[in-house]
């Protein structure tokens, strides 16, 4: 929302582990908000572009991906019946 309201880019940066004590910073091209869109549609579109880029990096380096957000706040219910 900040990037859209201020018409400024989001500059994606990823740190890639290279060995046990080295990292490489990768800066991607800036993602500019689409001026033709506004409101929720602008937020959705910019978020989608960023998410697609993030997905690309997770696919390239899956062993380096770690989700810290508590996405699933409840545990799935146990299934009944014998297996």
The model's pLDDT over 30-78, given as tens digits with 9 standing for 90+, comes to 999 999 998 899 999 999 999 999 999 999 999 998 777 666 667 666 6
Confidence band for 81, pLDDT divided at 50, 70 and 90: low
Cα separation, 39 vs 23, in Å, equals 37
How many whole angstroms separate alpha carbon 2 and alpha carbon 38? 13
Looking at the whole model, is its pTM more than 0.85?
no
Task: Map out the domains of the chain as residue ranges.
Answer: 2-64
């Amino acid at each position: 929302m900040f990037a859209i309201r201020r018409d400024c880019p989001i500059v994606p940066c990823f740190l890639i582990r290279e060995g046990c004590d080295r990292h490489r910073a990768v800066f991607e091209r800036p993602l500019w908000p689409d001026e033709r869109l506004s409101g929720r549609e602008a937020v959705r579109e910019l978020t989608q572009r960023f998410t697609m880029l993030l997905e690309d990096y997770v696919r390239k380096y899956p062993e380096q991906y770690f989700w810290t957000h508590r996405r699933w706040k409840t545990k799935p219910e146990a299934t009944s019946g014998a297996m």
